[in-house]
Amino acid sequence: MINESEFNPADIKWIKSVTRDKGMAWAYLDVNVGDTFPLNFSKNPKWYPTNYLKAKPGEIIALFQTLVPTSEHKLRWYVTHLVSPVDESIEKENSGSHPYTRLVSVVAVNKTPTLIDAQEWSFYKCNRGQICDIKTVEKRNKIEISVLQKQHFIWDLFENTDSSLKNSILDLNTTKFDVEDYVAKEGRERTILKLHRFKERDSKVIKRAKEKAKREGRLHCEICLFNFEKQYPILGKDFIECHHKQPISEGGIRETRVGDLAIVCSNCHRMLHRKHLQGNYPTIGDLQNIISKKMI
Q: What is the CA radius of gyration of the chain?
A: 22
Cβ–Cβ under 8 Å, residues 137 and 149 = no
Question: For residue range 156-194, what is the model confidence (pLDDT) as tens digits?
Answer: 999 889 888 888 788 777 765 443 443 344 455 555 555
Burial of residue 203, with CB atoms counted within 10 A of its CB: 0-12 exposed, 13-18 middle, 19 or more buried:
middle
Cβ–Cβ under 8 Å, residues 77 and 66 = yes
pLDDT exceeds 80 at position 251: no
Helix or strand or coil: residue 141?
Answer: helix
Residue type, 243: H
Question: For residue range 123-164, what is the model confidence (pLDDT) as tens digits?
Answer: 888 877 889 999 999 988 867 899 999 999 999 999 889 888
CA distance 106 to 165: 9
Cβ–Cβ under 8 Å, residues 39 and 53 = no
Own/partner long-range contacts of 264-267 (Cβ < 8 Å, ≥24 apart): 264/221, 264/222, 264/223, 264/240, 265/220, 265/221, 265/223, 265/224, 265/226, 265/228, 265/240, 265/241, 266/241, 267/224, 267/226
Question: For residue range 22-80, what is the model confidence (pLDDT) as tens digits?
Answer: 778 889 998 888 888 889 888 776 767 788 999 999 999 999 998 765 555 566 789 99
More confident residue, 291 or 73: 291
How many residues are recorded in the chain? Answer: 296
Distance of CA 112 to the CA centre of its chain: 18
What pLDDT is attached to residue 185? 43
Find the helix or strand (DSSP H, E) in which 76 lies: strand 76-85
